[in-house]
Amino acid sequence: MKSKTTINLIESIGLTKTFKKIFNYFSIFTIVLGSTFGTFNTANAAAITLNATTAAGPGTMKTAGGDVAMAVDGTDTLNIVSFATTLTLADDAANQIFGAITGTTGTLTLTTAEDSHASSQTVASYVGVDGDVQITTAGDQDHTVIFTGDVSTGAITGIITIDGDAGDATATLVQVGGDITGVVKMDKNSGTATLELTGTNATINQSVDGLGDAEGRLKISGAGATMAGKVGTTGTTSLALIDVDATATFADTSEATTYTVDADTTFTGAVLANTAFTVNTSADVTLTAASDLSLATVTTGTVTSSALLTTSDLINTAGKVYLEVKNNEMGAGRYAAGNGAELHVGKAFVSGDVIYLGDDANGGATDFHAGSKIYLPSNFSNGETLKMTDAGAWDATSGDAATAAAAITVTLQDTALVDYTATAAIGDTDIVITAANKTTSAIATELKTTSNNATAALQLMTAMDANDTTGDTAAYTAFHNALNAQSGLSATEDTAIINQASPQTDLITGSSVAAQAVTGSIQGIMSNRMASLRSGDAYFGTGVAAGGMSAQSGFIQVFGSTAEQKKHESWFRNSSWF
């Protein structure tokens, strides 16, 4: 069999080193060429400064040196000074990218005449001194303007206007990746006008309004956003939609037709939802001012209201609702809880308060799913009452006040110390929830502890109640969470807290037994030894082991006891002791 050998002609004639050198030369040439073109590109980047009003940009920019064209690849920068400037994207043109734009008092206009396809104009940033920004959709296709950095008119009186298309139902979207300074006004016209805050930790420093009621949309997609000014509440200028998809804070009042909140959000100012307020995800929403949410729906998230809450209906599908003040108003509607829903009543309630008032036109007993829960404050104890009120007497479609009370009782979450029961007679408008302390034997059985510890538990509850709103409120909160297995605590935490907070009765008992034994021993010794010192009638010699002690003799015995205490881990403030 013949064998074949592959011959490398390049190596065989000694050209290997030569080819390597050639390839190296090509590599160096490529690097030099790329660097040269990059230098050309940078060198050709223009810093354009206007000297007159410019209405036909970016193709014709008025400068002291004559008309120039502004590049649309992001390389050129522009100073409009105080001159009105318009940058237009023509029909069927490529999307535009502009470098940073600055100015003093001029108005910058970004517009499109695109009728063929959706278009976009991107600007690195805009910073003025006391200028305005106008964004207009003149074509009949969707128009997006993207500011990757800040948009600042330079003054709180500066105006940023977003105009939707006047003749077509197109979308005008303005996305800002940095901070916004200036009053934002939106006019949807025949389409929609949306401002989207995309940057992380970005701030809108002034108000965001519609030019009329239900005009414009505000969308939050960058985490840590802050709306420092009013949103939709300067007169009749509400927004159509506030859509929160990333963590946000509204520092002032807000108003919109609809709110959709899908991320942790704090509303410091009053919220007015004219149609609906929906929490669709596991968002944690905090309302610190009296608010009206209209139709409020909590799907799986949390709503905490520390001020008066008004709704037309509060539908808690499987979320958590925390009410911190009394007389919350459900209007002509009601509170309805689905399977897994939780209602938490705050510690500021006092006996006799009404949790909420409504006029239920839809349900009654069926509003309270057996799988839902109502948690009452741990300072609500023996003989105290709270109320739920329905002007319709709880008899809309499912029974009466008595059946509604029975359904509510099923949802009330008793603690190891207190039982809760809801009662009402047929025709009553008030359902009364009454607290009753459990007996010490019942508490001991439930907590698997001693009756002494159960007694101590009731005393501890009294002490904690005194610190619910003043004093050591942190201790009260820890106690409440332990009783209700909240804030990540387990169902056995109530036993742990009671055992740790109760007196150490086993040590006391051991000391008492030891003391009794020592006392008896001392008495026997003393009676025996003292007999040797007696004489005459006082001497009782028979049956007494006097031991023959003399008057100069003495007797002493030292007694003591020891005890060992195990280390305890504290339920409060992560301390430990022996």
Checking DSSP bridges between strand 418-423 and strand 430-437, what pairing results, if any?
Answer: antiparallel
- Among 152-156, 464-468, 510-514, top mean pLDDT goes to 152-156
- In the numeric block, which tokens belong to residue 272? 């007015």
Please provide the distance, in angstroms rounded to a whole number, between the alpha carbons at the two ends of the chain: 92
Q: Is the pLDDT of residue 568 over 70?
A: no
Q: How many other C-beta atoms are found inside a 10 Å radius of the C-beta of residue 383?
A: 9
What is d(CA 413, CA 426) in angstroms, rounded to the nearest whole number?
Answer: 24
**What SS3 state is found at 558?**
coil
Q: Is the pLDDT of residue 519 over 90?
A: no
Q: How far is CA 49 from CA 60, 62, 134, in A?
A: 12, 8, 20
Q: How many other C-beta atoms are found inside a 10 Å radius of the C-beta of residue 329?
A: 15
What is d(CA 247, CA 240) in angstroms, rounded to the nearest whole number?
Answer: 20
What is d(CA 391, CA 352) in angstroms, rounded to the nearest whole number?
Answer: 17
Contact assessment for residue 287 and residue 296, using Cβ atoms and an 8 Å cutoff? no
- pLDDT tens digits, one per residue of 278-320: 998 999 999 999 999 999 999 999 999 999 999 999 999 999 9
Burial category of 152 from C-beta neighbours within 10 Å (exposed 0-12, middle 13-18, buried 19 and up): buried
What are the residues whose beta carbons fall under 8 Å from the beta carbon of 341, sequence distance 6 or more? Answer: 298, 316, 317, 318, 319, 320, 321, 369, 372, 373
What is d(CA 416, CA 254) in angstroms, rounded to the nearest whole number?
Answer: 43
What is d(CA 357, CA 212) in angstroms, rounded to the nearest whole number?
Answer: 33
Could you give the angle at which helices 451-465 and 493-501 cross, rounded to 10 degrees? Answer: 90
What is d(CA 28, CA 17) in angstroms, rounded to the nearest whole number?
Answer: 17
Q: How many residues belong to the chain?
A: 578
Nearest residue to 283 (alpha-carbon basis) of 313, 309, 246, 258: 246
Q: How far is CA 348 from CA 324, 354, 461, 470, 473, in A?
A: 6, 12, 16, 11, 12
What is the mean predicted confidence (pLDDT) over 185-190? 95
Q: Is the pLDDT of residue 369 over 50?
A: yes
Q: Quick one: which H or E segment has residue 41?
A: helix 16-44
What pLDDT band is residue 34 in, cutting at 50, 70 and 90? Answer: very low
Q: Quick one: which H or E segment has residue 358?
A: strand 354-358
Q: What percent of the chain has pLDDT over 70?
A: 78
What is d(CA 578, CA 572) in angstroms, rounded to the nearest whole number?
Answer: 15
Q: Strand pairing partners for 385?
A: 434
What is d(CA 575, CA 70) in angstroms, rounded to the nearest whole number?
Answer: 68
Q: Is the pLDDT of residue 346 over 90?
A: yes
Instruction: Give me the pLDDT at residue 395, please.
Output: 80
What are the residues whose beta carbons fall under 8 Å from the beta carbon of 393, sequence distance 6 or more? Answer: 400, 401, 427, 428, 429
Residue 152 φ/ψ, nearest 5 degrees = -135, 120
Contact assessment for residue 219 and residue 243, using Cβ atoms and an 8 Å cutoff? yes
Q: What percent of the chain has pLDDT over 90?
A: 63
Instruction: Give me the pLDDT at residue 343, please.
Output: 98
What is d(CA 49, CA 124) in angstroms, rounded to the nearest whole number?
Answer: 17
- Which is more confident, 141 or 6? 141
What is d(CA 101, CA 144) in angstroms, rounded to the nearest whole number?
Answer: 18
